[in-house]
Amino acid sequence: MMTKQEKVNFVINTLENLYPETPIPLDHKDPYTLLIAVLMSAQSTDARVNTITPLLFEKADNPYDMVKLTVDEIREIIKPVGLSPMKSKGIHGLSQILIDKHDGQVPANFKDLEALPAVGHKTASVVMSQAFNIPAFAVDTHIHRLMFRWGLSNGKSVEQTEKDAKRLFPEHTWNKLHLQIIYYGREYSPARGWNLENDIITKTIGRKTVLKEYDKKQKK
């Protein structure tokens, strides 16, 4: 039986071998365009967001130009990514706040980021880690699913998964590891169409109940 620490080391080493490089999946050129892209990615795919952000950023790639657009104009552009009424209000609103309170700059701290409209803890964590290289562990659906499958968290809530990830993995690994787990989840351990034979990490350290459940489904 592997200890929890051995499991953690196995995850880190396996992911480092598979994904030595971790390009950021959302196209951006600075903290502001990353913030807008992350906000747009809620309940959408990165690929879809990357097809729409160039159209938006062509018109406005900074808060000063963004507030010149109306909420309706923003909504019209970003409609394909879904939840456009809420996202367009958020984009316009946060751009105005950045101008009024932060000299048009994206703040590099959780308190100010999370105070912005439509910006939750996950979005703030992505911006902190990817725009400012400050250690954070943004938990998305892939990370939440895999931390449970691997027996490293109880799957009760994303908040609990984040706490467990931060407790188990060394801080200096967080920013890269968060992306590595997402890449791994997409490629080897998806929610649907999951093939355990390809999923070396879950096969090696997976929670017994998860493995049993998988076996049951295969036998049906």
pLDDT value at residue 50? 98
pLDDT in tens, 71-124: 999 999 999 999 999 999 999 999 999 999 999 999 999 999 999 999 999 999
46 is catalytic: no
Catalytic residue among 140, 212, 215, 220: 140
Residue 219 pLDDT: 85
Distance of alpha carbon 14 from alpha carbon 200, whole angstroms: 9
Determine the average pLDDT of the residues in 161-177: 98
For the domain made up of 4-21+138-219, give the CATH fold.
Endonuclease Iii, domain 2 (1.10.1670)
What's the whole-number average pLDDT of the chain? Answer: 97
pLDDT (0 to 100) of residue 1: 82
Q: CATH number of the domain at 31-132, please?
A: 1.10.340.30
Segments making up each domain of the chain, as ranges:
4-21+138-219, 31-132
pLDDT in tens, 37-69: 999 999 999 999 999 999 999 999 999 999 999
Q: What is the pLDDT of residue 220?
A: 75
122 given a catalytic annotation: yes
pLDDT, tens digit, for every residue of 121-134?
999 999 999 999 99
pLDDT over 90 percentage in the chain:
98
| Catalytic entry in 122, 166, 176, 199 | 122
